[in-house]
Amino acid sequence: MVVKESGHSRAPRLRGLSRALPVTPALVILVLFLAGPIAYCVYLAFTDLQLTGQAESSFTGFDNFRTAFEDDAFLNAVWLTLVFTFLSSIVGQNTLGLALAALMQRASKPIRTLTGGIVVTAWVLPEVVAGFLLYAFFRREGTLNAILDWLHLPSQNWLFTLPILAVSFANVWRGTAFSMLVYSAALNEIPKEITEAAEVDGAGGWRRMWHITLPMIRRSIGTNLMLNTLQTLSVFGLIWVMTRGGPGNRSQTLPLFMYEQAFQKSMIGYGTAVALLLLVVGSLFSLVYLRLLRTEV
């Protein structure tokens, strides 16, 4: 006995298909150009693929990952990546961006316009251009040492003696504008009645900031930290232009180490494994920040 499908049962299915049809092209594009390459890179991380001197690759399992964790250069790159991210993103961009946003709340309109224009200009500069400008600032015959000489203070070759601090400062200089814009929008959403009431009750600037402002913009802080951290973990051009990871490997973060292994030493499989580990590091940071965002004030 054949039971015919009624028109009422076909209607929800047709509505579902009609709703899914507009997003189908976008889904296909995501699969082809995002999910597909990611899956292929994951596969390459478990092979010994090389750019030169190899007829075909073979599956090696977790050998690339074992090699990485036994490689002092890789562990040094992990440490420098964490230092670079902590100094330039978590501390530098986040703190300076919040400070600038708070100061601009009380500044006059011309000062806000001038400060915002200067900070945003550094942000919109291409990474290579920003790297060259900061290289000219920190090099032995650069602007910083010229200022120190004029002040009769000792100068040094900053890109040789303190390379990771130099590139961290460069990333702060270039990326603070994003944090400033995020916090400016968040501070504008705080009702003025709350801060005015706290001021009438005798709360000083620091107490208002700690007990009122920071709790009320907590979600903006978490979002800004997550986005800044993920962007900083992938910084390549800025460091490459300024130091190329040197001297030696004293400013070689994971993106530069990955590039060296994959394209300079032609070990695509090993370099892709390092890239996968960098993705894991970024995912761990994201999980921490998402956990903080879910926590109630």
Residue 213: predicted pLDDT: 79
Question: pLDDT band at 232, cuts 50/70/90?
Answer: very high
pLDDT > 70: percent of the chain: 90
Which two tokens mark 64?
Answer: 């690339």
Two tokens, residue 232 = 């900083």
pLDDT of residue 16: 63
pLDDT at 89 over 80: yes
Q: Extract the tokens encoding 132.
A: 């060259």
Q: Residue 233 pLDDT > 70, yes or no?
A: yes
State the pLDDT confidence band at 216, using cuts at 50, 70 and 90.
confident
Rounded to 10 degrees, what is the CA torsion of 105, 176, 98, 148? -90
Looking at residues 164-179, what average pLDDT do you find? 92
DSSP 242-282: HTTT-STTTT--HHHHHHIIIIIS--HHHHHHHHHHHHHHH
For residue 163, whether the previous peptide bond is cis, meaning omega lies within 30 degrees of 0, is: no
| Residue whose C-alpha is closest to residue 187's, from 203, 209, 207 | 209
pLDDT, average across residues 263-283: 90
- Check pLDDT > 70 for residue 14: no
Give the model's pLDDT for residue 255: 94
3-state secondary structure of 59: strand
Asked whether residue 164 carries a pLDDT value surpassing 90, the answer given is yes
Q: Residue range 76-91: average pLDDT?
A: 93
Q: Using pLDDT thresholds of 50, 70 and 90, give the confidence band for residue 220.
A: confident
pLDDT at 12 over 70: no
**Mean of the per-residue pLDDT values of the chain:** 85
Whether 7 shows a pLDDT value over 60: the answer reads: no
d(CA 142, CA 161): 15
In angstroms, the CA 100 to CA 102 distance is 5
CB of 253 closer than 8 Å to CB of 80: yes
- The CA angle 143-146-147, to the nearest 5 degrees, is 90
* CA separation for the pair 261, 160 (Å, rounded): 23
pLDDT in tens, 17-53: 667 677 788 888 878 888 888 888 889 999 988 887 7
